[in-house]
Chains A and B, each alone.
Chain A
Amino acid sequence: MSVGILSKYIDDLLSAEEEDIQHYLSQMPGGREDLLPLLLAARAAHRAIAAIEVDPVLEGESRQRAQEALASPGGAAGLRSDAAARRGPARTGLVGRFRRLAGALWGRRRKGDD
């Protein structure tokens, strides 16, 4: 039974809706002495973790680094660029046609040289 009460207490702690500890103890009249240390441990853990303050400046730096990573060659955006590069440039439009033609002529000339 204490497993269920403790679980509910942790739920309530995390949602900031916890009742007074007496409320939880009253649900287990025969086992209060076993339950109380567990509730206190949960409360201590929750508060110790919540008290670890995050520096907004450092958080901003981290966000910036993540954004740079996204835009870099190794990032998600970069991976997409690599894939596009492997496929080669699009050969449509005037420039593409010119390059295709130039490539074909250059290849013919190289064959002729042989």
Chain B
Amino acid sequence: MQLGRGANDAELVARVAAGDSAALDVLHGRYYARLYRLAYVKLGSREDAHDIACETFVRAVSNLPQLHPLLTTSLYPWLHTVACNLVTDMLRRKPLRTHLSLDDRSRAEVAAYIDQAPNGRPLPDQVLERREVQECVRRAIANLPEAQGVAVFYRFIGEMTIREIAQEMRKSEGAIKSLLHRAMASLREALAGTPAARGITTGQVGATPARGEADVGRDSVQVHR
């Protein structure tokens, strides 16, 4: 049988468990980037993120024969758990040097970034600043409370549906939506505390940049009262 990119995870896992290397390639293509991003958000290091993603797949290959009869939906939650355990092990061996919270300098950088981009046109020196903003957002996501963080990772990185997350976390779909709502509030709070961020609620905000760019924003959203 021909393997399509649309083949479901349970089918692919069964085929990998039977030694099908093409099925493994499809699963790898589907999940490597997600695992890499998950690990990168948690660790902030590209090298470590690659190691985690890579090792997750190696472990997956060893465990798929036992896993495949049990798998009914997405493989992502299982890979997510393995990757998170590997991240925990790595942090035990090699604690993060940077303190994962938004310090005053980072907050000032976010403020400066938003202040300097009011008209939708990035300034030349904004490339570096954009990276700083991304780093602030990454840290804020990594520091979300446990359940909120899991929901955000499942939704934004795992690209799982609300229903899938609800099944996985054994909560109602309404509870997951509320959890994501609280997570966004926490995230906003973590990124707040600057004059520019306070200004967001009243008028000028950043960004509707081209897709793929990850800045907090640069276009204007007027809040009509």
Assembly CA distance A43 to B217 (angstroms): 9
| Count class of interface residues, chain B | 35 or more
Interface segment out of the listed B29-37, B82-90, B115-123: B29-37
Complex contacts, B178 vs chain A, CB 8 Å: 3
| Count class of interface residues, chain A | 35 or more
Does A80 lie within 8 Å of B19, measured CB to CB? yes
Closest chain-B Cβ to A42's Cβ sits at a distance in Å of 5
Interface segment out of the listed A15-23, A88-96, A100-108: A15-23
Chain B residues touching A, majority SS: helix
Does B216 lie within 8 Å of A44, measured CB to CB? yes
A63 CB-CB contact with B under 8 Å: yes
State whether A55 and B50 are in contact (beta carbons under 8 Å apart), knowing that A37-B188, A66-B58 are contacts in the complex. Answer: yes
Does B61 lie within 8 Å of A45, measured CB to CB? no
| Max chain B Cβ within 10 angstroms of own Cβ: one of A46, A71, A77 | A77
Complex contacts, A25 vs chain B, CB 8 Å: 221, 223
Chain A residues touching B, majority SS: helix
Question: Given B17, B57, B223, which contacts A69 in the complex, CB threshold below 8 Å?
Answer: B57
Closest chain-A Cβ to B32's Cβ sits at a distance in Å of 5
Does B159 lie within 8 Å of A14, measured CB to CB? yes
Does A49 lie within 8 Å of B37, measured CB to CB? yes
Chain B 189-225 interface 0/1 with A at a Cβ cutoff of 8 Å (1 = within): 0011000000011100101110111111100010110
Closest chain-A Cβ to B3's Cβ sits at a distance in Å of 15
Closest chain-B Cβ to A20's Cβ sits at a distance in Å of 7
Does B188 lie within 8 Å of A38, measured CB to CB? yes
A67 CB-CB contact with B under 8 Å: yes
A50 CB-CB contact with B under 8 Å: yes
Does A69 lie within 8 Å of B61, measured CB to CB? yes
B41 CB-CB contact with A under 8 Å: yes
State whether A49 and B221 are in contact (beta carbons under 8 Å apart), knowing that A69-B62, A76-B61, A80-B19 are contacts in the complex. Answer: no
Assembly CA distance A7 to B155 (angstroms): 10
Assembly CA distance A20 to B64 (angstroms): 43
Does A40 lie within 8 Å of B200, measured CB to CB? yes
Assembly CA distance A49 to B34 (angstroms): 9
List chain B positions with a Cβ less than 8 A from chain A.
16-19, 21, 24-25, 28-29, 32-33, 36-37, 40-41, 46, 50, 53-54, 57-58, 60-62, 64-65, 133-134, 137-138, 141, 152, 155-157, 159, 162, 174, 177-178, 180-181, 184-185, 187-188, 191-192, 200-202, 205, 207-209, 211-217, 221, 223-224
What 5 A-B pairs have minimum CB-CB distances, sorted nearest first?
A51-B214, A47-B214, A48-B137, A41-B188, A77-B19
Known interface pairs A70-B16, A71-B21, A76-B64; 18 further A-B residue pairs with C-beta atoms within 8 A, sorted by A's residue number: A3-B178, A3-B181, A7-B177, A22-B221, A37-B192, A40-B216, A43-B216, A44-B217, A47-B137, A49-B156, A49-B157, A55-B46, A55-B50, A59-B28, A70-B61, A76-B17, A76-B18, A76-B62
